[in-house]
């Protein structure tokens, strides 16, 4: 199955045969199409298409080329409609210094505002960046856009941009340009995109693949892009199709008709399922097998606000502790985590975080001082006795920096959090006793063994 993660079926070029184009996509094996908003009129058509077709979802955006037309009513429209079940993202948004149809200042203003909306609405970002790599990355970091997450659309080969977006936990979308004869440099760079971060797109009606060059592009043509991506990465078409499908479904929560559990009880503790996003793709993770943990469905259609979490939690006084631990890495949503923890502490709750220990890497700063007084205990997944084993089983977006970052997080945590524990899952091939020695003798923290295949 395939997903076109970035289409513009609202474009006038489809006015005469839009229904046929959508039918063709299904016949070509596409399960879902995500129609991307660029301006208010386009957003309105996208919403209409998503309502009419079960397999079409949409995002709401304000493209940098059209930012001179943006006013407060534009933002109000996006905020008002973001709760629609078929709206799965904010964008496209970003910076375009190639066309410069409006000033850099105006582009940056709109970009920052949409990052804010994405975080408030708990929706991923669809990022456009053309000849503006440095400013794009700077603004995402300054505005904590990594808390929303998202995808870099229409990747065209800037290696610096690729590395920065991967570090921020974003997905990378590849389109028809990868099939062009003059795109050798792009193809080399695409080799460095992990399959676990790869999305496919058409950007139709633009950028038709090579065999259709000069024609109007459409979602059905995405198969050629998938075939070329498979060739570049030295894997099968089925492998690229599977990964890009799963990544799209996971990022945009496609096909999920109900919100999963955002708080759940295990052994007299209340668990908070803050996000399904994670900086690791661990081979042993429970979500690889099922969305259920102890009978609780943890696949959420969108990330909950602090207010929603606290309302769902209800009377927390009956629990021995409240634990930030769901299907994702809770420190990704640091500001929401801190807001909830502060209110829980006012109610006298013991607060614990179960984390992969990459919070400092995710945010590019030491976040532990911000948790002092809010968090009573932290359990960090050490999971290996060396960097190679860690990356082999955890597949971190931070690659070789991940394991060192986890150990540094554990060392630093002792300064600010009363109870610090390093844990290890008994994955076959992992030296548990070597992990124990690192935890207890080198890091001077408590150690806990978690049985492989057992959750909760």
Indicate the SS3 state at residue 190. helix
**Confidence (pLDDT) at 257:** 62
**Confidence (pLDDT) at 289:** 65
Backbone dihedral region for residue 25 (phi beyond 0: left; psi -120 to 50: alpha; all else: beta): alpha
**Confidence (pLDDT) at 158:** 78
In order of 256, 303, 328, 334, the CA distances from 119 in angstroms are 20, 9, 16, 11
Show pLDDT as tens, one digit a residue, over the chain (456 residues).
899 999 999 999 999 999 999 999 999 999 999 999 999 999 999 999 999 999 999 999 999 999 888 999 999 999 999 989 999 999 999 999 998 889 999 999 999 999 999 998 989 999 999 999 999 999 999 998 998 999 999 998 778 889 999 989 899 999 999 999 999 999 999 999 989 899 999 999 999 999 999 999 999 999 999 999 999 999 999 999 999 998 999 899 888 665 689 999 998 999 999 998 899 988 888 776 667 777 888 888 788 999 999 999 999 999 999 999 988 999 999 999 999 999 999 999 999 999 999 999 999 999 999 999 999 999 999 999 999 999 999 989 898 999 999 999 999 999 999 999 999 998 888 899 999 999 999 999 999 998 765 544
Q: Is 339 exposed, middle or buried (0-12, 13-18, 19+ CB in 10 A)?
A: middle
Q: For residues 259 and 301, what is the distance between their CA atoms, to the nearest angstrom?
A: 5
**Confidence (pLDDT) at 296:** 85
Q: For residues 37 and 34, what is the distance between their CA atoms, to the nearest angstrom?
A: 10
Q: Are strands 263-266 and 269-272 parallel, antiparallel or unpaired?
A: antiparallel
Q: Is 315 exposed, middle or buried (0-12, 13-18, 19+ CB in 10 A)?
A: exposed
Nearest to 139 by CA among 104, 173, 169: 104
Q: For residues 144 and 140, what is the distance between their CA atoms, to the nearest angstrom?
A: 6
**Residue whose tokens read 């998938």:** 226
The b-or-e profile of 382-406 (16+ CB within 10 A means b, else e) is bbbbebebbbebbbbbbeebbbebb
Q: What is the CATH topology of the domain spanning 2-252?
A: TIM Barrel (3.20.20)
**Confidence (pLDDT) at 452:** 61
Q: What are phi and psi of 303, to 5 degrees?
A: -75, 135
Indicate if 263-450 has the same CATH topology as 2-252. Answer: yes
Q: Are strands 171-174 and 150-152 parallel, antiparallel or unpaired?
A: parallel
How many other CB atoms sit within 10 Å of the CB of residue 183? 18
Q: For residues 132 and 146, what is the distance between their CA atoms, to the nearest angstrom?
A: 18
Count of positions (residues) in the chain: 456
How many other CB atoms sit within 10 Å of the CB of residue 348? 8
pTM score, whole prediction: 0.79
Which sequence spans correspond to the domains of the chain? 2-252, 263-450
Contact assessment for residue 374 and residue 322, using Cβ atoms and an 8 Å cutoff: no
Contact assessment for residue 217 and residue 21, using Cβ atoms and an 8 Å cutoff: no
**Residue whose tokens read 């179960």:** 354
Backbone dihedral region for residue 214 (phi beyond 0: left; psi -120 to 50: alpha; all else: beta): left
Classify domain 263-450 by CATH architecture: Alpha-Beta Barrel (3.20)
Q: Which parts of 29-162 are beta strand (E)?
A: 30-35, 56-60, 87-96, 125-130, 150-152
Nearest to 227 by CA among 240, 242, 244: 240
Nearest to 189 by CA among 162, 228, 152: 162
Q: What is the DSSP code (8-state) at residue 10?
A: T
**Confidence (pLDDT) at 390:** 95
**Confidence (pLDDT) at 293:** 78
In sequence order, the 6+-apart residues with CB closer than 8 A to the CB of 339 are 306
**Confidence (pLDDT) at 299:** 84
Contact assessment for residue 196 and residue 281, using Cβ atoms and an 8 Å cutoff: yes
């Amino acid at each position: 199955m395939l997903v076109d993660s970035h289409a513009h079926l609202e474009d006038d070029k489809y006015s005469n045969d839009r229904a046929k184009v959508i039918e063709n996509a299904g016949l070509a094996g596409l399960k879902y199409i995500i129609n991307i908003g660029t301006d208010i009129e386009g957003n309105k058509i996208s919403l209409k298409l998503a309502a009419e077709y079960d397999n079409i979802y949409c995002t709401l955006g304000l493209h940098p080329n059209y930012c001179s037309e943006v006013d407060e009513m534009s933002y109000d429209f996006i905020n008002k409609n973001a709760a629609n079940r078929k709206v799965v993202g904010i964008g496209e948004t970003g910076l375009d210094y190639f066309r410069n149809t409006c000033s850099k200042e105006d582009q940056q203003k709109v970009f920052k505002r949409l990052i804010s909306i994405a975080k408030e609405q708990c929706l991923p970002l669809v990022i456009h960046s053309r000849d503006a790599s440095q400013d794009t990355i700077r603004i995402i970091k300054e505005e904590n856009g990594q808390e929303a997450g998202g995808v870099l659309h229409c990747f065209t080969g800037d290696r610096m941009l690729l590395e920065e977006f991967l570090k921020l936990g974003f997905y990378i979308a590849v389109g028809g340009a990868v099939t062009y004869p003059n795109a050798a440099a792009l193809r080399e760079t695409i080799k460095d995109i992990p399959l676990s971060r790869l999305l496919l797109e058409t950007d139709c009606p633009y950028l038709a693949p090579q065999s259709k060059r000069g024609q109007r592009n459409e979602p059905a043509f995405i198969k050629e892009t998938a075939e070329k991506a498979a060739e570049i990465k030295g894997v099968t078409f089925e492998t690229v199709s599977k990964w890009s499908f799963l990544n799209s479904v996971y990022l945009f929560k496609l096909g999920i008709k109900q919100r999963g559990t955002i708080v759940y009880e295990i052994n007299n503790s209340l668990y908070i399922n803050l996000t399904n996003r994670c900086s690791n793709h661990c081979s042993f993770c429970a979500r690889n097998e099922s969305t259920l943990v102890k009978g609780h469905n943890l696949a959420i259609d969108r990330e909950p606000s602090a207010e929603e979490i606290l309302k769902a939690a209800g009377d927390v006084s009956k629990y021995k502790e409240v634990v930030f631990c769901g299907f994702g890495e809770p420190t990704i949503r640091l500001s929401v985590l801190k807001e909830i923890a502060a209110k829980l502490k006012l109610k006298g709750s013991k607060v614990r975080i179960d984390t992969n220990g990459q919070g400092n890497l995710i945010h590019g700063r030491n976040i532990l001082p911000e948790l002092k007084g809010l968090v009573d205990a932290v359990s960090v997944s050490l999971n290996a006795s060396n960097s190679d084993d860690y990356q082999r089983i955890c597949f971190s977006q931070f690659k070789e920096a991940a394991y060192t970052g986890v150990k540094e997080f554990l060392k630093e945590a002792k300064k600010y959090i009363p109870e610090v524990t390093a844990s290890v899952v008994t994955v076959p091939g992992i030296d548990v006793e070597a992990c124990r020695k690192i935890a207890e003798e080198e890091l001077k923290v408590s150690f806990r063994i978690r049985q492989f295949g057992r959750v909760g």
